[in-house]
Amino acid sequence: MKYIVCEEPGQFLIKEKQEPSLERDQVLIQMKRIGICGTDLHAYQGNQPFFQYPRILGHELAGEVAQVGAGVTDFKLGDRVGIMPYVSCGVCIACRRGKPNCCTSIQVLGVHSDGGMQERIVLSQNLLLPANHLEWEEIAVLEPLAISAHAIRRSQVTSADTVVVMGCGPIGIGVMAFAQLEGARVIALDVQDSRLEFVKEELGIKDTVNVLKGDPQARIEELTDGDMAQIVYDATGNKRALESGINYMSHGGKFVLVGLFKGKLTYHHPSIHAKETSLLCSRNATRQDFDYVMDKLNQKAFPVNSFVTHTVPFLDMPQHFEDWLKPETGVIKAMLEISS
């Protein structure tokens, strides 16, 4: 069977290997859709933390059950399944306290271990989500939207909040959508007018700010009558954004770091102390977040069709990947399709 491996930064290779074998509690999954995310882009560019090469990327996955182990009772041949790509130990302090998303020895498919950019993959049944009620594209966006949903749940956003979301990429768009579902007012920030237009048109967000045009802090102050935002989310992973987000936050507010930067961040302590800042990091997602997203997608509460902007056949991916790094291509979510 064929697979695509990131051999080293800047290089994808298409290779072949033997079909995987099953253990008792495992399921063979025929891949159908594979979403491309920021982690994949960063890995290709060589700036992804927690990463080693060579690596088979891919953790935004939709598949069909092709074979089940003797001990599998919850899935049958032909079932559509989503995949939770976070393999946790179940015994560390985080797992024991209901936070397997930040397990001390977590293994994320496509990051710490090989992921789903292969025609078929064997996984433990406890990583699978029954998804016969969803379309393939909906299943493949479960994971990034679950990350967004986790950030919303972690920050306890309410209808009384005005929130600023920095970054109109896939994660930021999800944060905006789910914040709106909680009744919050959303102000969107980005450096690309096209992405700001996307959230205006698809999510109905009225207040957008291009941070490269004028003074974003002054604009947010104007939009909030001087209060600033009760919650600020970074969904960029950009050092400048991560360090400036505190300026958009109200006194007594929360700053939620959803994006990941490979390096050190610096804050002026008197500034964050004066606001009694709650600084939160939001990592990965839990089954609760996946279930929430599946319910919202079942209600058609998120614009998946416009969210997935680029789809190419699986084996054509290497020739398209570099284009998806370019803002002018207009990519929101790229996706690979396996027809077999």
pLDDT at residue 50 tops 80? no
pLDDT of residue 124: 96
Give the pLDDT band (50/70/90) at residue 340. Answer: low
Which of 19-28, 247-256, 320-329 ranks highest by mean pLDDT?
A: 247-256
Residue 48 has what pLDDT? 76
In degrees and rounded to multiples of 5, residue 53 shows phi and psi of -110, 155
Percent of residues, the chain, with pLDDT higher than 70 = 100
Output Rg (C-alpha) for the chain, integer angstroms: 20
Ordered structural domains, the chain, with CATH: 2-140+303-337 (3.90.180.10), 148-281 (3.40.50.720)
Distance between CA 294 and CA 146 in Å, rounded?
9
Q: Identify the band that residue 46 occupies on the pLDDT scale cut at 50, 70 and 90.
A: confident
- Among 58-67, 232-241, 284-293, 325-334, the minimum mean pLDDT is found in 325-334
Share of the chain above pLDDT 90, in %: 92
What region, left, alpha or beta, does residue 228 occupy, with left being phi > 0 and alpha being psi -120 to 50 degrees?
left
User: Which residues are within 8 A (CB) of 118 and not within 5 positions of it... i.e. 6 or more apart?
Assistant: 1, 2, 3, 4, 31, 56, 58
Whether 42 shows a pLDDT value over 90: the answer reads no
Q: How many CA atoms lie within 13 A of 220 on its CB side?
A: 29
How confident is the model over 155-177, as pLDDT tens digits?
Answer: 999 999 999 999 999 999 999 99
In tens, the pLDDT along 119-131 reads 999 999 999 999 9
